[in-house]
Amino acid sequence: VYWPLFVLIFYFICPIPHFIAKRVGDDSDAASSACRELAYFFTTGIVVSAFGFPIILARVEAIKWGACGLVLAGNAVIFLTILGFFLVFGRGDDFSWEQW
């Protein structure tokens, strides 16, 4: 049963709102901007959907609950990795990793 692999789509589209907000938004030092907040909203919706998708598949018995648990654990690992990447490499420091 390959239904849980559709969660990979959520992994790929998760950073897209952040990238769009970074390009569109101005580079001011304001505490928040509407574009950035909208990107956070869409990203949160994508992450919640990625966690909800395997639960729905398990409820309609398309997958077993054990597979659902494994997909949820994988989601936690992947999304924490994506968050860590943006926290480490997303800031503009004097030493810029963005040049790589």
For residue 30, the 8-state DSSP code is -
Task: HSE, CB side, 13 Å, CA atoms: give it for residue 93.
Answer: 9
In the chain, the number of structural domains is 1
- Round to whole Å and give the CA distance between 32 and 73: 32
Which range of residues forms the domain containing residue 76? 37-94
Residue 23 lies in a domain: no
- Determine, yes or no, domain membership for 78: yes
pLDDT digits (tens, 9 = 90+) for 25-58: 666 656 568 888 999 999 999 999 999 999 999 9
* Percent residues over pLDDT 70 in the chain: 82
> Does 65 have pLDDT greater than 70?
yes
Is residue 3 domain-resident? no
- Reply yes or no on whether the pLDDT at 99 is more than 90: no
Among 5-9, 10-14, 31-35, 62-66, which is the least confidently predicted range? 31-35
Examine residue 18 and state whether it is found in any structural domain, yes or no. Answer: no
pTM: predicted TM-score of the whole model, two decimal places: 0.81
